[in-house]
């Protein structure tokens, strides 16, 4: 008995064609295991004979191929006579059979099965009864397909790639292309494949437009035009861009779709951060995810939605709503104009995240391509269903669309297609105008982009297929009628008026959105069309509503629409689908044309009471239109919609909130709105306040900030996210008028220490110049210190036998405890870098203790995604103090479950040591480490470290100098450990204005120089009765500390001194009289060139370090490199000395054979370079710096300069990787100026060492 496999094995065959001077040249090519006839990409048909001339041997080979071909075709014919779908099966959705391949194979990042030919893959598909799969195109005529699109002649356009996943780097021509598949004889089979454009660089999204196409090709959206009509692009114009492709190249601009307003909508894709400006000055900031829209001429660009992670694929319903597939988060998302969606933990826009339409994940987040099928050529049970590609499970998932008012949900159905071949990778799914479902198959052993190296040899670069799924067994007359409609697309200009009207009514009234779009584009481009007839047709009351809406769109796109026609259309349009389409069209019209539609939208909202959910889609479209084009008079009616929207219609309510916020932002009528909605007329004060706060939070305007601040101070139950957002906004751009109010908001965080400290740091910049506000803030901080650092419980802990140990990172930060499961099933608290964020990078330093003979502890975490090789960036190590040499290292088990580690430390017993927990991986996933339950009693009591770290952050703010001296005395009088005493002493030195002393103490602490701290305890203790560093010359202690520090420590101290005005004098003394050479200090001093004291500036100007010349490619640098190489005696080379030099000077940033960090490139591959190249890299590091490792200089508002590699973020924080391996986190509001350099973090004075 036959199962439900789709076995119309139409083994279509390939030809390679090119067009030169209008003459087609074709050659016979190979598709799978068959040799294909010239000029055909369909199966051999009865009556068609292919004639070929070949040698005898070739003839025999060709004969065998023809035998294989006809066997394959005969196999297919068996299944072309599938029985009609039984009547009782049309009302229920039946899924595909499960594949015979073991389930485990589909979970592998690298499939272990063999490559299959197109015919073999075709035989491996399973679809429901009554459906069949057909092969449309395959290699070699197309390479790996990425996106598909239809033009106004019913042709299929495909972007294809061989470059992917590495873009062409400019040293050779790019090799990717756009192919066009055409049905030349109108029989429903594609006969020709032509190359419209080649030389492209990983093209993804495309959309045919008049005389060509718009397509993405790294890094621009291009307008590719065929100006001479030969079917080949001969003019290429940059339309928009450049788009960022520095972080990822595989998920960029995709799914270009034409909206009813004539604009083009598109998905931005994964990870990159693009800032794009159109010619009229409009701009968008696209951070990972996001969707945007632009005018077809590239003149204007707008953000459509914010958020998501990697939207890849977009589809439309008959109301004009857009839906995306997402290859990293929810499989399907219903888009609301200007709404915000979750993305990598980023905060929302204030209004909140838009409601999700589904919770299930289809066993994978790798969803690519989606099509909503409502076409009557599919059986009823299979209509109103989303079909989406799942590239990890090699399936086509199915979800039924369900509506409740304007709120939609996706109900999970059985999978529509499964496959025995794990190489099947459906990256795009689209409904064709012929009613078939088209699938672009990126056929490949590997699809993961981070779990498997991009240069893995198993990646296939040439195989790609396009399939279509057709429903059989229904009324074939409908299919014949559709075929005739498609055949007539190119000849509409020659149709008589009556025939044209009939054709238009059929296609524009169709439930197939792809067919309607092809017809609209054809009619818009048609040179001769009777405007009067078209205007009359769209006002006929008896005509189908969708037909009338289609006529309106054609008139508008042809600039032939009039206000009278618009009013006439509205008078006869009462169906939701047609009215929603017209409202979405009006968003792109001129004000006079849009005015009647705006009034219709207002009337719909004014009559919302009593409508229930029946008109939900109309109300949502009306809200989105008013949000786009409305005025101040619309704010209150949108507010009313939010309040009256049914509780079970959350998408309608959210559309109302977003639209109201847009109107207020554009009109500025914020104060009047607040007076109206929170005044005495408010019937439900709590609900009114909650909704008002959410809407105002979405209005990025200073007036909204002030109103929010006023409302929040009187609303103790406000949402914490909202309070956080307001504090962030007001702190960044507020004035003295807001200073007091923002301090009062801190009470929201009095029970949450981390949030309290973070908010104090934010507001300090606003209030510090306002004495009354400073006084109020200091009172709040002192009260917090009394409760968390001077409280009875804290003192008891300090005086107990189990005194807590101090765990801090290099910036005096703390890793919070996080509960994790251990290998024996217990839940244990571990110090975890995950609490600082997945992309955090830094080291947690434990206290110094006497090394025991044995040490055991639990460790959990990851070093990259599980399928990838262990990069060993994250680790726990035990180092000797003070020299910092590691004596034991443990790596995380690449699991969330903690495992036990045991170290035998007998050779080091009794020596001073320190534990370091290192997170050196700034990845977005599988990039954390945690450790705890140490067998040494003095290590496992970190409770107090958290409060101590928080207190230091507060005391190191400028408000430290306002703290009551008696409270300082009380803090310093507690029985702290020597390290804790040192950190507090540094904080007090800074509070008293002696930043130099604070820098010396903190550098000594973080680099284990407790011997220096003991010798110079006058600085470290700095109790009130002792002399401070400010009362004696700091040059001598600073010089002694520099002598004790390794390269990393010396560099950190120089950086601190050079980037603070008060430190430059000390640095000048150290250069003149101390152990410091100009070569070490010069990289930091150059960054302040022009702002240095005269003596230092003169020293910098006199310096003749040759690296500046090298950075400009000077001949001097090359000569000096040659001279150094010539002076080397390789016979005297000392490997052990070289290892020591590497560990002391290089390992802080570079990793070689498992030693060192990976701030800069790891050097295992560098050993294969020639001696001259290595010498240039070492001696002239600034000559050719990879953009990913170029230094950016930040000028902060207190005249501090921070230089390093800036990691992008949109959370209001700037993360800067410094050249000592640490990460400095700076509030973005403190950055006054940024300067990009072409320099490396690597020191350029290694020739002097």
Q: What percent of the chain has pLDDT over 90?
A: 43
Question: Are 711 and 738 spatial neighbours (Cβ–Cβ below 8 Å)?
Answer: no
pLDDT at 1091: 78
pLDDT at 86: 39
pLDDT at 612: 52
pLDDT at 34: 30
Question: Are 1156 and 1142 spatial neighbours (Cβ–Cβ below 8 Å)?
Answer: yes
pLDDT at 950: 83
Give the mean model confidence (pLDDT) for residues 1160-1172: 57
Give the mean model confidence (pLDDT) for residues 1205-1219: 71
- The H or E element that residue 136 is part of is strand 131-138
pLDDT at 104: 92
pLDDT at 3: 34
Task: For residue range 1231-1249, list pLDDT tens digits in order.
Answer: 766 777 767 777 766 655 5
Q: How confident is the model at residue 1154 (pLDDT cuts 50, 70, 90)?
A: low
* Cβ count near 837 (within 10 Å): 18
Task: For residue range 18-65, list pLDDT tens digits in order.
Answer: 222 222 223 233 333 232 222 333 333 322 222 222 233 333 333 333
For the ranges 49-53, 790-794, 856-860, the lowest mean pLDDT is seen at 49-53
- The H or E element that residue 782 is part of is helix 771-788
Give the mean model confidence (pLDDT) for residues 1122-1142: 72
Structure tokens at 965: 């001296």
- Burial of residue 553 (number of CB atoms within 10 Å: 0-12, 13-18, 19+): buried
* Cβ count near 267 (within 10 Å): 32
Strands 311-316 and 322-326: antiparallel
Question: Are 416 and 429 spatial neighbours (Cβ–Cβ below 8 Å)?
Answer: no
Q: Say whether the peptide bond before residue 882 is cis (omega within 30 degrees of 0).
A: yes
pTM of the predicted protein model: 0.71
Q: How confident is the model at residue 860 (pLDDT cuts 50, 70, 90)?
A: very high
Q: What percent of the chain has pLDDT over 70?
A: 80
Block residue for tokens 């004790």: 1044
pLDDT at 1159: 59
* Cβ count near 827 (within 10 Å): 9
pLDDT at 861: 95
pLDDT at 477: 74
Q: How confident is the model at residue 203 (pLDDT cuts 50, 70, 90)?
A: very high
pLDDT at 935: 93
Q: How confident is the model at residue 658 (pLDDT cuts 50, 70, 90)?
A: very high
Task: For residue range 112-130, list pLDDT tens digits in order.
Answer: 999 999 999 999 999 999 9
Architecture of domain 1107-1248: Roll (2.30)
pLDDT at 425: 97
Please state the separation of Cα 1247 from the chain's center in Å.
41
Contacts 24+ apart (CB under 8 A), 1101-1110: 1103/1078, 1105/1079, 1105/1244, 1105/1245, 1106/1180, 1106/1247, 1107/1179, 1107/1180, 1107/1181, 1107/1182, 1107/1244, 1107/1245, 1108/1182, 1110/1176, 1110/1179, 1110/1180, 1110/1182, 1110/1183
Three-state DSSP class for residue 1070 = helix
pLDDT over 50 (residue 476): yes
Q: How confident is the model at residue 651 (pLDDT cuts 50, 70, 90)?
A: very high
Question: Are 844 and 916 spatial neighbours (Cβ–Cβ below 8 Å)?
Answer: yes
Give the mean model confidence (pLDDT) for residues 1111-1135: 60
pLDDT at 982: 85
Task: For residue range 992-1004, list pLDDT tens digits in order.
Answer: 888 899 999 989 8
Q: How confident is the model at residue 720 (pLDDT cuts 50, 70, 90)?
A: confident
Give the mean model confidence (pLDDT) for residues 257-269: 96
The domain 15-281+291-347+354-476 is placed in CATH, from the list 3.10.200.10, 3.30.930.10, 2.120.10.30, 3.40.50.720, at 2.120.10.30
Helices and strands of the chain, counted as H and E runs: 36, 47
Q: Give the alpha-carbon dihedral of 1154, 1155, 1160, 1166, to 10 degrees.
A: -70
Question: Are 596 and 563 spatial neighbours (Cβ–Cβ below 8 Å)?
Answer: yes
pLDDT at 1240: 76
* Whole-angstrom distance, CA of residue 1228 vs CA of residue 1194: 10
pLDDT at 487: 80
Block residue for tokens 């679809």: 127
* Whole-angstrom distance, CA of residue 508 vs CA of residue 519: 7
Alpha helices in 488-575 (DSSP H): 497-508, 513-525, 531-537, 545-557, 563-572
Per-domain residue ranges of the chain: 15-281+291-347+354-476, 809-936, 1107-1248
* Whole-angstrom distance, CA of residue 955 vs CA of residue 137: 68
- Average pLDDT for the chain: 81
pLDDT at 46: 27
Structure tokens at 975: 């029985």
* Cβ count near 170 (within 10 Å): 8
pLDDT at 875: 96
1022 Cβ neighbours under 8 A, 6+ residues apart: 972, 985, 988, 989, 997, 1028, 1029
Structure tokens at 79: 């299944």
Give the mean model confidence (pLDDT) for residues 1210-1230: 71
For the ranges 147-151, 788-792, 1084-1088, the lowest mean pLDDT is seen at 788-792
pLDDT at 1171: 63
Structure tokens at 545: 């509503």
Give the mean model confidence (pLDDT) for residues 1127-1150: 73
Structure tokens at 1242: 């690597």
Strands 220-225 and 367-373: unpaired
Question: Are 1240 and 1182 spatial neighbours (Cβ–Cβ below 8 Å)?
Answer: yes
Task: For residue range 955-999, list pLDDT tens digits in order.
Answer: 888 888 999 888 888 888 877 777 788 888 889 988 988 889 999
Which of 273 and 180 is assigned the larger pLDDT? 180
Across 121-125, 140-144, 207-211, 962-966, the highest mean pLDDT is recorded for 121-125
Three-state DSSP class for residue 941 = coil
Architecture of domain 809-936: Sandwich (2.60)
For the ranges 93-107, 551-565, 1109-1123, the lowest mean pLDDT is seen at 1109-1123
1047 Cβ neighbours under 8 A, 6+ residues apart: 1144, 1145, 1148
């Amino acid at each position: 008995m036959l199962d439900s496999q789709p076995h119309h094995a139409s083994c279509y065959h390939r030809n390679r064609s090119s067009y030169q001077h209008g003459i087609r040249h074709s050659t016979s090519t190979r598709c799978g295991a068959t040799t294909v006839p010239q000029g055909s990409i369909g199966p051999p048909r009865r009556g068609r004979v292919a004639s070929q001339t070949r040698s005898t041997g070739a003839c025999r080979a060709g004969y065998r191929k023809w035998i294989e071909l006809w066997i394959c075709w005969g196999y297919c014919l068996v299944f072309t006579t599938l029985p009609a779908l039984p009547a009782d099966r049309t009302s229920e959705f039946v899924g595909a059979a499960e594949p015979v391949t073991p389930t485990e194979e589909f979970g592998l990042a690298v499939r272990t099965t063999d490559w299959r030919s197109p015919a073999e893959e075709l035989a491996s598909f399973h679809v429901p009864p009554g459906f069949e799969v057909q092969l449309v195109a395959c290699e070699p005529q197309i390479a790996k397909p990425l996106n598909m699109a239809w033009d106004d002649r019913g042709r299929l356009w495909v972007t294809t790639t061989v470059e992917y996943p590495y873009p062409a780097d400019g040293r050779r021509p790019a090799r990717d292309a756009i192919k066009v598949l055409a049905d030349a004889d109108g029989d429903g089979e594609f006969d020709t494949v032509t190359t419209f454009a080649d030389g492209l660089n990983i093209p993804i999204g495309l959309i045919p437009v008049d005389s060509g196409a718009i397509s993405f090709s790294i890094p621009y959206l291009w307008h590719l035009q065929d100006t001479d009509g030969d079917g080949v692009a001969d003019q290429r114009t940059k339309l928009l861009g450049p788009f960022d492709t520095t972080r990822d190249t595989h998920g960029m601009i995709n799914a270009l779709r034409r909206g009813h307003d004539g604009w083009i909508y598109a998905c931005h894709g994964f990870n990159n951060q693009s800032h794009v400006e159109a010619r009229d000055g409009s701009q968008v900031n696209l951070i990972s995810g996001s969707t945007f829209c632009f005018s077809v001429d590239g003149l204007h660009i707008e953000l459509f939605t914010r958020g998501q992670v990697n939207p890849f694929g977009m589809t439309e319903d008959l109301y004009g709503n857009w839906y995306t597939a997402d290859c990293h988060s929810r499989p399907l998302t219903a888009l609301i104009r200007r709404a915000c969606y979750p993305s990598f933990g980023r905060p929302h826009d204030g209004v909140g995240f838009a409601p999700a339409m589904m919770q299930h994940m289809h066993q994978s987040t790798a969803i690519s391509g989606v099509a909503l099928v409502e076409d009557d050529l599919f059986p009823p049970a299979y209509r109103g269903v989303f079909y989406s590609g799942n590239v990890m499970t090699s399936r086509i998932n199915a979800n039924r669309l369900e509506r409740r008012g304007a709120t939609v949900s996706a109900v999970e159905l059985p999978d529509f297609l499964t496959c025995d071949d794990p190489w099947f990778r459906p990256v795009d799914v689209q409904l064709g105008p012929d009613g078939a479902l088209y699938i672009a198959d990126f056929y490949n052993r590997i699809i993961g982009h981070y779990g498997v190296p991009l240069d893995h040899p198993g990646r296939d670069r040439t195989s790609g297929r396009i399939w279509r799924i057709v429903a059989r067994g229904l009324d074939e007359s409908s299919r014949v009628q559709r075929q005739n409609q498609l055949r007539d697309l190119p000849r509409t200009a020659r149709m008589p008026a009556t025939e044209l009207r009939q054709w238009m009514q059929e296609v524009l009234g169709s439930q197939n959105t792809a067919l309607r779009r092809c017809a609209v584009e054809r009619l818009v481009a048609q040179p001769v069309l009777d405007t009067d007839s078209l205007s009359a047709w769209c006002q006929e009351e008896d005509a189908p509503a969708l037909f009338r809406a289609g006529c309106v769109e054609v008139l508008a796109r042809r600039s032939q629409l009039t206000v009278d026609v618009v009013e006439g259309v509205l008078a006869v349009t009462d169906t939701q689908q047609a009215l929603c389409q017209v409202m979405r069209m009006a968003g792109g019209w001129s004000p006079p044309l849009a005015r009647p539609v705006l009034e219709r939208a207002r009337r719909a909202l004014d009559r919302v009471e009593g409508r229930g959910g029946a008109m939900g889609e109309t109300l949502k479209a009306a809200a989105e239109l008013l949000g786009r084009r409305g005025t101040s008079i619309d704010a209150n009616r949108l507010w009313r919609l939010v309040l009256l929207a049914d509780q079970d219609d959350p998408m309608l309510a959210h559309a109302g909130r977003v639209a109201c916020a847009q109107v207020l932002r554009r009109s500025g009528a914020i104060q009047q709105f607040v007076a109206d909605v929170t005044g005495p007329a408010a019937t439900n004060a709590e609900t009114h306040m909650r909704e008002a706060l959410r809407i105002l939070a979405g209005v990025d305007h200073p007036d909204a900030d002030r109103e929010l601040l006023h409302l929040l101070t009187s609303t103790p139950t406000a949402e914490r996210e909202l309070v956080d957002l307001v504090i962030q906004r007001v702190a960044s751009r507020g004035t003295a008028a807001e200073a007091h109010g923002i301090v009062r908001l801190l009470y929201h965080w009095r029970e949450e220490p981390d949030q309290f400290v973070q908010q104090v740091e934010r507001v300090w910049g606003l209030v510090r110049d306002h004495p009354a506000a400073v006084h109020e803030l200091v009172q709040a901080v002192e009260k917090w210190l009394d409760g968390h650092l001077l409280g009875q419980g804290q003192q008891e802990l300090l005086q107990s036998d189990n005194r807590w140990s101090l765990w801090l990172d290099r910036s005096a930060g703390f890793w919070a405890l996080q509960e994790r499961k251990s290998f024996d099933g217990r839940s244990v608290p571990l110090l975890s870098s995950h609490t600082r964020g997945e992309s955090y990078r830094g080291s947690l330093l434990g206290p110094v203790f006497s090394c025991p003979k044995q040490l055991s502890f639990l460790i959990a975490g990851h070093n990259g995604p599980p399928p990838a090789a262990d990069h060993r960036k994250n680790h726990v190590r035990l180092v000797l103090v003070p020299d910092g040499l590691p004596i034991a290292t443990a790596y995380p088990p690449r699991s969330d479950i903690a495992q036990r580690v045991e170290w035998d430390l007998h050779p080091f017993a009794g020596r001073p040591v320190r534990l370091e927990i290192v997170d050196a991986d700034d990845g977005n996933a599988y990039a954390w480490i945690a450790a705890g339950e140490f067998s040494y009693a003095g290590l496992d009591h970190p409770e107090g470290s958290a409060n101590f770290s928080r207190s230091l952050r507060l005391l190191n703010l400028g408000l430290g100098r306002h703290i009551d001296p008696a409270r300082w005395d009380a803090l310093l009088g507690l029985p702290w450990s020597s390290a804790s005493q040192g950190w507090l002493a540094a904080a007090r030195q800074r509070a008293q204005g002696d930043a130099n002393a604070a820098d010396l103490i903190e550098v000594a602490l973080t680099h284990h120089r407790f011997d220096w701290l003991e010798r110079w305890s006058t600085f470290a203790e700095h109790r009130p009765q002792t002399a401070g560093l400010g009362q004696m010359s700091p040059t001598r202690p600073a010089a002694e500390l520099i002598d004790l520090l390794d390269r990393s420590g010396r560099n950190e101290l120089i950086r601190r001194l050079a980037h603070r005005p008060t430190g430059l004098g000390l640095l000048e003394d150290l250069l003149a009289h101390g152990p410091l050479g100009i070569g070490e200090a010069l990289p930091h001093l150059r960054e302040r060139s022009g702002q240095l004291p005269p003596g230092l500036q003169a020293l910098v100007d006199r310096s003749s370090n040759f690296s500046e010349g090298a950075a400009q490619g000077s001949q001097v640098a090359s000569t000096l490199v040659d001279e150094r190489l010539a002076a080397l005696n390789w016979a005297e080379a000392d490997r052990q000395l070289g290892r020591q030099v590497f560990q002391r000077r290089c390992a802080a940033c570079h990793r070689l054979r498992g030693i060192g960090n990976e701030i800069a490139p790891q050097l295992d591959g560098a050993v294969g370079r020639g001696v001259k190249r290595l010498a240039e890299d070492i001696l002239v590091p600034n000559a050719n710096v990879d953009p990913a490792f170029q230094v950016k200089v930040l000028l902060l508002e207190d005249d501090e300069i921070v230089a390093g590699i800036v990691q992008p973020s949109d959370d209001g924080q700037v993360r800067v990787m410094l050249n000592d391996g640490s990460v400095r986190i700076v509030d973005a509001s403190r950055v006054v100026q940024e300067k990009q350099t072409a320099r490396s973090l690597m020191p350029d004075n290694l020739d002097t060492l």
